[in-house]
Amino acid sequence: MSRLRRILFPIRLAAARLGSGGGRLALVALGIVAGTAALGAVLGGRLVMQDRALAQATAALPSGNRSLEVAWVGDFGPTWRALDRQVVPAMDKLAGRKPIATMLYRESQINGRLVNLRAVNGLAPYVHLDAGRLPKTCVPSHCEVLRIAGVGPVPSKSTIRLIQVGRATLDPAAPFKPFIQPAESGIVSAAVQYHTAQPSPVLLADGVDGLSRTSELATFFRAYAWFVPVEAGDVHPWSVGAYTQKVDRLRAQMSADSGQYEVTAPTDQLTAAVTSSRVAARRLLLLGGEVGTLLLAFTILAAGALRREITAARQRLAFSGARRSQIELQTFVETGAVAVAATIVGWAIGALVAAGVASRAGSPAWPVVEHALLSATGLTTAAAAAATAAVLLYLAVRAPALQAGRLTVTPLDVAALAAIGAVVLGYARGSVDTQSLAASKGTGVFVLLVPGLVTFAAAICAVRLLVPTLRALGRIGRRGPIALRLAVVSLARNPGGAATVATFLVASLGLALFAVTYRSTLLQGQRDEAAYAAPAPYVLDENLSQLVPVLHAWKGGPATQIVRLSGNVPSSASFTFLGVPPTALAQTGGWRSDFASTSLAALAKRLAPKTSTALHSTALPAGKTFALPVSTNGDDISVRAFFRSPLGDFDSVILGPTDGSKRIVLHGRIPFTGATLTSLELDLISPRLTANGGTGTQPTARGVLHLGVPSVDGKPVTNAFADWLGVQGASIQSTGIAYSTTAGDTTVIRPRQPTDGNPIPVLATPAIAAAAGNNRIVPLTIEGEQIVGHIVGILHRFPSIAGDAIIADRQTAETALDTSSPGLGTTNELWVDSLGQPAPSTLTVISRAQVLAGLRADPLARGALITLASAAALALALALIGLLLGVAGDRRDERGELFDLEAQGAAPATIRTHLRLRALLVACFGLIGGAITGAILSSLVLSLVSVTASAALPEPPLRLVLDGRLLAGAIVAYAVLAAVLVYAATALHERAPARAAEAAA
């Protein structure tokens, strides 16, 4: 019992002291409450971000891939009613609502006519009427239907009466549209449409039961399907795993009932979305670590004010005969009780904040709190926070005041060196990208610790530098004002309290600068990403479903013509080939100076040709029919002519075969108005087999082709073939054009081009440049055709291109590509500054403004930016409070010194100036140290965490950005508020001797 009393005594004493003087610990508890509340809010906020990101990803899924679907396919088997009784309860149990039932019959013949029959229960919400009315519920005797596609009459007979009551189109958001709607073939040519059978009618009834019981269709092959759309908010990050398990159990249950069931759900897409959002959630650990470090530092600063009182209480206990273990237990219980109670209160406040954020964002409040703060992980985090706060509080009130003047190595110095080593080790391992954040739990812990490690090391360095700095100022200011000299000397002699305040200011201001800088970096990263994705305000491409050339579709204002293709080099490295006019290249949006060591204007100048490189061709007079007199000595061949339109399109026209030495005139229709003749191709028609270099016999045609003067609608084209040459088996001779062509070869005669024998100048990324020879010549295979490039500049990346790139002058590239393969160099992209009118539907439009709006609307990005702004504001506020606590502590701890100054004749104004200069010196030291700490932390974090605001891999990479205006405004606001607080705190309304007497008493 005596041992128990010895243990309980310090506990009861701590409880009594807390009950009678809790106010003295209010400020300390406030720091812990704020810290744990902020940590809880971050944990809840990151789960809300994940939930909103998952909801957004779910809404972005195509309607056909966003449903839980159970399908049954067969001909003979259970009735629809029996199947429906099996499926509906199971799906209702899983999804919480009844499914939409549908059915379809394969294309069937009824009364000699083909028809596609479908049915949906509750049809009205899913169709848009074009004509007529909605059908009544289908019954076996007669079934009203809507036509949703196809042509032809509706079949009907005595055993099945189908009555069309209207025409309609399916709602694009209907979950069953891919199941019901036949595949659309897109736009095809008139010739294809003429020779293709028209599709049979697609008829849609309201009511699966009635259509399934029609006797005429009893033996027809059919499919039933039940759909439950997965809406945004149906599945949450914490329930994706459970949802997947439910789907697997449903699949097993359905398979056990019948092997003809198939169950599908977007579980893979949902899991991928959660994994992606987890990256941003872990990146928020960085921000949570920043806030937690800051508030723990504030707790230590506030606890320093209790050191004198607790030391006196410990001395009284020792004088009363208390044992050392009892004294330590009483101190730890007192500080630990404050830490635990404050953590509980802070965690509750964090839960309320998280619930409010969840409700405002549209997420369920209680599940967010439950899974973020009340889960095993959340409660463990709260317990760790309470334990950490308790230990730090105990050490803060138990350890002696900081003595910054010692030169000996202390455990704190060793700990600071260890922190620096940990950060350096993490930096050496490389940056933390999206994959590592998603996969590695250890990486997330390291990211959480980075701000604390850097700030701790900076604080210890600040302690070590404070006294040397004060002494240096003292030597510099020997002839300065007496108040300044007194302030410097007094701080240098007793730097303990000032060192504590200075280190806190270094930490708080450094973290505030980091939050502001990192936020501005992420914001600039969004703008850079949008500009990189769209080098111009609007980028127009061909709509691949319609394949209308961009120059034919675009009828708007000025546009920069671009050629975009893909290719590879002999090393198999693939690249994107971009043909850009040099004048537009220098103005490319999204370009940054770190993309190349040379300015973009200088690189554009290197690409600009000295003379025209436009494609040479033979101009033709206006007309429709092209005529070409020909004869041959040797094997007959077929002649094909290539024509080019004013918009750069190419089309080939077969003129016909030759007829030996007989002179005949070949004809062809010119496909374009204002066309030019670019080349003639010689093709095999009745080749002979000849030996070819030991490779065996091959079909070959040889001879001499004689060309007459061509004409257009009877108008001769003089000098049509002047300066033409033969390639790939053809040569121009005085007697005609000698040719030797084999199967697989393309024998061509064409005009001599500016690019013949000359490699085209290109800009290349380093990987492509590595494949070039010593002369910087590199063979390029572009869409299967080979051209030769001369590398005149190196760039690391180029806007709109992910990966390696080749950039060339568009006109030069167009000539080289069209010479190799007519039409390959045709413009297929436009860069436009202003649309001026709605873009035609035949083009795909990428708007830089829309890309940027999408990036800014991302929940992950918005949450990260809001958290950074809140952290910056909190850090600045705590820096002001810390400075105020320092001044208040200065007045309390320096009462005797202030009394001596006044006794020696110092006026109250001098004493006020003395106190303010002490505060100014500490504030300036903290501001400078904070700026250095913030710069180091910003640089390290940017190097370590290479993800965008939306947690994606940045393209282009993030770069450190300082928002000068915001930083200047924050510094001015801090300086003004600090001056006001210091002025108010140092106003001496009482005389110093009276206060000194009170202190002595």
Please answer whether residues 765 and 778 qualify as being in contact, where contact means their C-beta atoms are separated by less than 8 angstroms: no
Please give the pLDDT value at position 719.
87
Look up tokens 């990987």; give the residue.
767
Helix axes 307-319, 376-398, angle to 10 degrees: 70
More confidently predicted of 331 and 346: 346
Average pLDDT value for residue range 539-564: 85
Average pLDDT value for residue range 891-918: 67
Integer Cα distance of 923 and 506 in angstroms = 9
Residues in a beta bridge with 709: none
Total Cβ atoms within 10 A of residue 765: 23
Integer Cα distance of 384 and 848 in angstroms = 46
Average pLDDT value for residue range 724-739: 88
* pLDDT tens digits along 915-959: 778 788 888 888 888 888 888 877 777 665 555 555 556 778 888
Please answer whether residues 256 and 137 qualify as being in contact, where contact means their C-beta atoms are separated by less than 8 angstroms: no
Token output for 232: 């945004």
More confidently predicted of 413 and 58: 58
Integer Cα distance of 29 and 18 in angstroms = 12
195, pLDDT greater than 50: no
* pLDDT tens digits along 449-459: 677 777 778 87
141, pLDDT greater than 50: yes
Task: State the DSSP H helix or E strand holding residue 900, giving kind and residue range, or none if neither.
Answer: helix 895-903
Please give the pLDDT value at position 957.
82
Integer Cα distance of 366 and 372 in angstroms = 10
More confidently predicted of 573 and 367: 367
SS3 561: strand
Amino acid at 543: N
The pLDDT confidence band at residue 399, using thresholds 50, 70 and 90, is low
**DSSP secondary structure letters along 644-706:** E-TTS-EEEEEEEE-BTTB-EEEEEE--STT-EEEEEEEEESS-EEEE-TTS-EEEEEEEEEE
The pLDDT confidence band at residue 30, using thresholds 50, 70 and 90, is confident
Q: Kindly report the pTM of this predicted structure.
A: 0.74
* pLDDT tens digits along 655-691: 999 988 889 999 999 999 999 999 999 988 865 555 5
SS3 954: coil
The dihedral region occupied by 399, where left means phi > 0, alpha psi between -120 and 50, and beta the remainder, is beta
Of the given ranges (23-27, 356-360, 390-394), which has the lowest mean pLDDT? Answer: 23-27
Integer Cα distance of 603 and 335 in angstroms = 66
**DSSP code for 21:** S
**DSSP code for 259:** T
Amino acid at 149: A
Total Cβ atoms within 10 A of residue 589: 18
More confidently predicted of 443 and 263: 263
Please give the pLDDT value at position 479.
66
The pLDDT confidence band at residue 434, using thresholds 50, 70 and 90, is very low
* pLDDT tens digits along 759-813: 999 999 999 999 888 889 999 999 989 999 999 999 999 999 988 999 999 999 9
Token output for 254: 């359905």
Integer Cα distance of 718 and 618 in angstroms = 10
Please answer whether residues 574 and 567 qualify as being in contact, where contact means their C-beta atoms are separated by less than 8 angstroms: yes
Of the given ranges (37-41, 607-611, 720-724), which has the lowest mean pLDDT? Answer: 37-41
197, pLDDT greater than 50: no
Please give the pLDDT value at position 993.
43
981, pLDDT greater than 80: yes
* pLDDT tens digits along 831-871: 999 887 777 878 889 999 999 998 888 776 777 777 778 77
Task: State the DSSP H helix or E strand holding residue 362, giving kind and residue range, or none if neither.
Answer: none
The pLDDT confidence band at residue 367, using thresholds 50, 70 and 90, is very high
Token output for 926: 């903290």
Please answer whether residues 120 and 204 qualify as being in contact, where contact means their C-beta atoms are separated by less than 8 angstroms: yes
Please answer whether residues 125 and 193 qualify as being in contact, where contact means their C-beta atoms are separated by less than 8 angstroms: no
* Rounded alpha-carbon distances, angstroms, from residue 128 to 120, 124, 150, 158, 185: 14, 8, 16, 30, 21
The pLDDT confidence band at residue 329, using thresholds 50, 70 and 90, is confident
More confidently predicted of 174 and 919: 174
The pLDDT confidence band at residue 283, using thresholds 50, 70 and 90, is low
Of the given ranges (50-64, 405-419, 641-655), which has the lowest mean pLDDT? Answer: 405-419
**DSSP secondary structure letters along 947-982:** --TTSSPPSSPP-----HHHHHHHHHHHHHHHHHHH
Average pLDDT value for residue range 285-296: 66
Look up tokens 């020696």; give the residue.
904
Please answer whether residues 44 and 353 qualify as being in contact, where contact means their C-beta atoms are separated by less than 8 angstroms: yes
Phi, psi of 569 (to 5 degrees): -115, 170
901, pLDDT greater than 70: no
Total Cβ atoms within 10 A of residue 494: 17
Integer Cα distance of 447 and 207 in angstroms = 57
Residues in a beta bridge with 683: 638
The pLDDT confidence band at residue 891, using thresholds 50, 70 and 90, is low
The three-point CA angle 923-928-934 to 5° equals 115
**DSSP code for 99:** P
Please give the pLDDT value at position 191.
34
Of the given ranges (414-423, 619-628, 901-910), which has the lowest mean pLDDT? Answer: 901-910
Please give the pLDDT value at position 328.
76
Query: Which of 548-571 are b and which e, b meaning 16 or more Cβ less than 10 Å from the residue's Cβ?
Result: ebbbebbebeebbbbbbbebebee
Alpha-carbon torsion, ordered 92, 94, 97, 103, to 10 deg: -60
Percent of the chain whose predicted confidence (pLDDT) is above 70: 80
Of the given ranges (153-167, 303-317, 453-467), which has the lowest mean pLDDT? Answer: 303-317
Phi, psi of 859 (to 5 degrees): -60, -35
Please answer whether residues 426 and 447 qualify as being in contact, where contact means their C-beta atoms are separated by less than 8 angstroms: no
Token output for 852: 């940027």
Please give the pLDDT value at position 18.
59
Integer Cα distance of 187 and 193 in angstroms = 9
Please give the pLDDT value at position 812.
94
Q: What is the mean pLDDT of the chain?
A: 81
More confidently predicted of 871 and 118: 118
More confidently predicted of 344 and 492: 344
Integer Cα distance of 887 and 980 in angstroms = 12
The pLDDT confidence band at residue 189, using thresholds 50, 70 and 90, is very low
Amino acid at 472: A
**DSSP code for 198:** P
Integer Cα distance of 465 and 568 in angstroms = 57
Please answer whether residues 144 and 138 qualify as being in contact, where contact means their C-beta atoms are separated by less than 8 angstroms: yes
Please report which residue ranges of 534-577 form alpha helices under DSSP H: 550-553
The pLDDT confidence band at residue 107, using thresholds 50, 70 and 90, is confident
Q: Which of 274-283, 291-300, 651-660 has the highest mean pLDDT?
A: 651-660
183, pLDDT greater than 70: no
Please give the pLDDT value at position 487.
72
Rg (CA), the chain: 41
**DSSP secondary structure letters along 566-577:** EEE-TT--EEEE
Token output for 866: 């809001």
Percent of the chain whose predicted confidence (pLDDT) is above 90: 34
